[in-house]
Amino acid sequence: MRYYLYGGFELPRDSGRVILGDRDQRQAFWDEVEYDQLGLGDACGCYVFGIRVGGGIKPWYVGKAERQPFRKECLTLDKLTKYESAMKHVGKGTPLLYFYARTTKAKHLFSSPSTSKHRDVAYLEKLLISHALQRNRNLINIMETKLLKEMVVPGMINSPPGSLSNAAKEMQILMGY
C-alpha cells in the first residue's frame, strides 16, 4: 500500500471560526478538493488538521478514515468542534486539512473505505499522532496519546532537559532521529 499526500486545503472561516456548518459550505469545500484531485473525497486514509500562523504551521488533530471516506469522516460536527477548539486556543491563523490518501497496489487508484478496516491506516494514524505530538504538545487527540505523552526515551521521545548521554547521541545518529 502506498499513500499520497494532498493539501493543505483551507477551511473557510468567518471571524476566525471555521464555518462549514451547513451543507452548501461543506459541498463547496469538497468541490475544491475534487478540483485539485479527482476522487480524493471518496478515498480513505489519514488526515491532519493544522493551523498556519505567520510562516509556521502546527498540527492540532490527526484522524483516520478507514470505514468511510474522507468526505464523511473529517467534517462531522464532532471534528468541527475540535477544529474550533484549536482555533480558539491559537486565536488567529489559517485552518488547513491535509490528506494522506491510501492507494491500491496495482494501478495507484484511491483505495475505498472498508468495513473490515485497513490495518495500515490505523498504524499510520498512530505514527502521525506520534510525530504531531513532538511538534505540538497541545494536540487535541485523546486516544493514542496518553502513552506517548508519558513515555520518556532520551534522544527520541520526550527527552528530559539537559545534555544527552553519549549512547543517546550515537543512537540518534544510528537511527536518524
Residue 15: pLDDT band by 50, 70, 90 thresholds? low
Task: Note the Cα 34 to chain centre separation in Å.
Answer: 19
Model pTM greater than 0.85? yes
The secondary structure of the chain in percent helix, strand, coil, rounded to multiples of 5, reads 40, 25, 35
**So what's the pLDDT on residue 17?**
64
pLDDT tens profile 122-161: 999 999 999 999 899 999 998 888 888 888 888 888 888 8
- Check residues 145 and 60 and name the one with the higher pLDDT: 60
Every domain of the chain and the residues it spans: 2-144, 153-177
